[in-house]
């Protein structure tokens, strides 16, 4: 059994705990937290909860540590730190900073003799793989990524920072017409805001000026400005009742021609009932790969592009050739 | 420039010749044929046409040979033979015989110091990869493969062998309702014949008994028996005018749950204007990988499962991390 640890017990960490039940060759060894005392954190599994400062004592009990912190504040520091002690998998998703992050992880993991896989999940992750496979096979075509329908936690957080807002959930929705044009092979030029709309469910404080709130949301730079944004005001009860799950999904579509006129459309789509539990599932498959590769003597930082598919599968190479090829 | 050779100038070989135009780092060096004299074969490109018996003279002029023969008669012999001289890529698709074929190729390629990638295309090939990734990530779910709409060349050939048939094209069509049930997460148990229907466009000889022909087709063991099969009789002109392209495609759908009730649906779909030109494009991306891996000292037989995605992409590892992750 591959001994897995969770570091950070938020949505993603709990997702790992839940999804792990589907991986018969892995088991949870411990949950690491920054809380003091660690056992102030109540978890669902009957495994030790350990303060991150005691992690070094666990290096021979853990095969792979899943880093479940956020990309903005947690992983830039935690990634290199724990790559210096454990095989790790993370979902670092600040696209522009991935090369720099990967370089730091690579140095730390080579020094510790461990292997770390960065930026794993569905985007970055599976969608990145699809963009790569599709573009490699049909280099003369164009690849389009659409996100949604799903909850954007970053945008929901941004709305919650608006004065007078008590609670909010933001759904990103793909524009069906734009998607159809891509599928039709029109190769349109599309801005992010032409591919997606934003729908916000907002709970306002009593007596708050709803018009001002809606306007502040719709004109918020980097988040909503330029997008077709709808704001609905609802009650706190409605928010809890109808908007407490974290669905997401999206589509990667590649359109290209061969010869004079043969059109090809390649598409990968996800409809996810729980974004964190799915992301966790992808991370667990790569945890298996990290463990196998490190057991075979490999060290350093890796992305999904570096890892041969067979290392993810539960079966032996012969079993996957017979069963899946 | 990677020097590519085509071995076998049928639909697939011509597909390679056409699709190669989209790969800026590759060029066609020669076409190999069993014809004697070789130059009786007229090709579109201005490169030498060489008899296969002279292949040994070309070992230092060819980086990768694409084996474009058929799986039934050609590849079982040609695969190991040419793996003994060149890096090769083929589309061997007799699923049950792949392990045995791969073992022979592996032995030949290890002996010659070359690298051969077998069973490349879309199924086996991309669909196999999708089945593997999806099952590795969500091991408790089920994966369904649907084929079509598209021309099945094996089934078209089978119809042409019926007495009184002058020409025929058979389309495999997925059953929309079955596909919807899978997408809905019902995890139905479906036979091949419950997932697909078969539509046949047949040209009968003058005075042939059409009722007997339709009956022979619909009851043909291993091909049509048990399927919902429709037979249309058309003229030779209609056959040439409306049924001379080779479209195909299909869907791989994986359905699974995490936790108590979070349903996830993963789907990969292809709509291909030209089956041979698309298959050729996949083979060319793997030809690039075969060349790179062998240049780095690797030898032996490989499947798509063995090859890290980055080896397919035209860019450097750093470029693909920055551009695609």
pLDDT in tens, A210-232: 999 999 999 999 899 999 999 99
> To the nearest whole percent, how much of chain B has pLDDT over 70?
100
Cβ of B258 within 8 Å of Cβ of A267? The answer is no
pLDDT at A2: 98
pLDDT band (50, 70, 90) for residue B30: very high
For position A80, what pLDDT does the model report? 98
B18 close contact with A: CB closer than 8 A: yes
pLDDT in tens, B153-174: 889 999 999 999 999 999 999 9
Average pLDDT over residues A39-43: 93
Chain A positions in Cβ-Cβ contact with residue B102 (cut-off 8 Å): 321
Mean pLDDT to the nearest integer, A69-91? 96
How far does chain B reach from its first CA to its final CA, in angstroms?
A: 26
| pLDDT at position B260 | 86
Q: What is the spatial distance between Cα A17 and Cα A199, in angstroms, rounded to a whole number?
A: 30
A303 touches chain B (CB under 8 A): yes
Identify the weakest region by mean pLDDT among A35-39, A292-296, B61-65, B119-123.
Answer: A35-39
- Taking CB atoms and an 8 Å cut-off, how many pairs form between chains A and B? 213
Distance CA B105, CA B103 (A): 5
d(C-alpha B52, C-alpha B37), whole Å: 11
- Calculate Rg over the CA atoms of chain A: 21
Question: What is the token pair recorded at A265?
Answer: 């459309």
Of A22, A131, A139, the CB nearest to B139: A22
How far is the C-alpha of A139 from the C-alpha of B24, rounded, in Å? 9
Q: Do B317 and A306 touch (CB under 8 A)?
A: yes
ipTM of predicted assembly, 2 dp = 0.96
pLDDT (0 to 100) of residue A325: 92
Single pTM value for the model: 0.96
- Residue A260 scores a pLDDT above 90: no
Does A246 touch chain B if contact means CB atoms closer than 8 Å? no
Mean pLDDT score, B244-264: 96
3-state secondary structure of B78: helix
Cβ-Cβ contacts under 8 Å for A273 (sequence gap 6 or more) = A245, A247, B257, B258, B261, B262, B263, B264
pLDDT 10s digits, A54-74: 999 999 999 999 999 999 899
The beta-carbon contacts of A78-81 under 8 Å, at least 24 apart in sequence, are: A78/A7, A78/A8, A78/A52, A79/A104, A79/A105, A79/A108, A79/A116, A79/A118, A80/A104, A80/A105, A80/A107, A80/A108, A81/A108
**Which 8-state DSSP code applies to residue B205?**
P
Supply A252's token pair.
Answer: 């990667």
The pLDDT score that the predictor gives to residue A78 is 97
Say yes or no: B22 contacts chain A, CB-CB below 8 A. yes
Mean pLDDT value of segment B73-78: 96
User: Rounded mean pLDDT of chain B?
Assistant: 96
Asked if B180 has any chain A CB less than 8 Å from its own CB, the reply is no
> Who wins on pLDDT, A154 or A307?
A307
Mind listing the pLDDT tens digit for each residue in A121-141?
A: 999 999 999 999 999 999 999
Question: Which tokens sit at A92?
Answer: 């670092």
Q: What's chain B's Rg over C-alpha atoms?
A: 21
Chain A residues in contact with B23 by the CB 8 A cut-off are 139
Alpha helices by DSSP H, listed for chain A, are 11-19, 75-83, 98-112, 126-137, 153-160, 176-183, 192-195, 210-218, 236-242, 275-295, 317-324
Express each pLDDT in B195-206 by its tens digit. Answer: 999 999 999 999
- Banded pLDDT at B16 (limits 50, 70, 90): very high
């Amino acid at each position: 059994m591959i001994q897995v640890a969770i570091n950070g017990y938020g949505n993603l960490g709990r997702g790992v705990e839940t999804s792990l039940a589907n991986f018969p060759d892995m088991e949870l060894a411990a949950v690491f937290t920054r809380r003091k005392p660690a056992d102030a954190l109540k978890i669902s599994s009957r495994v030790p909860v350990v303060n991150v400062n005691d992690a070094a004592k666990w290096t021979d009990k853990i095969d792979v540590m899943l880093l479940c912190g956020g990309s903005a504040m947690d992983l830039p520091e935690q990634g290199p730190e724990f790559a210096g002690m454990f095989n790790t998998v993370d979902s670092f998703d600040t696209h522009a900073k991935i090369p720099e992050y990967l370089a730091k992880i690579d140095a730390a993991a080579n020094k510790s003799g461990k292997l770390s896989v960065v930026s794993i999940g569905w985007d970055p992750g599976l969608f990145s793989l699809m963009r790569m496979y599709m573009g490699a096979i049909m280099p003369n075509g164009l690849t389009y990524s659409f996100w949604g329908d799903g909850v954007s936690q970053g945008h929901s957080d941004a709305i919650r920072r608006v004065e007078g807002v008590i609670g909010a959930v933001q759904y990103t929705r793909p524009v069906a017409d734009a998607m159809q044009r891509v599928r039709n092979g029109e190769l349109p030029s599309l801005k992010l805001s032409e591919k997606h709309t934003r729908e916000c469910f907002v709970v306002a404080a009593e007596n708050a000026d709803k018009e001002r709130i809606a306007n502040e949301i719709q004109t918020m730079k980097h988040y909503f400005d330029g997008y077709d944004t709808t704001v609905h005001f609802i009650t706190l009860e409605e928010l809890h009742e109808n908007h407490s799950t974290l669905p997401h999904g999206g589509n990667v579509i590649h359109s290209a021609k061969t010869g004079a006129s043969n059109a090809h459309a390649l598409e990968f789509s996800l409809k996810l009932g729980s974004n964190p539990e799915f992301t966790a599932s992808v991370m667990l498959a790569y945890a298996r790969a990290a463990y196998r590769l490190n057991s075979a003597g490999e060290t350093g930082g890796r992305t999904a592009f570096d890892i041969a598919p067979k290392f993810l599968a539960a079966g032996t190479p012969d079993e996957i050739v017979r069963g899946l090829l």
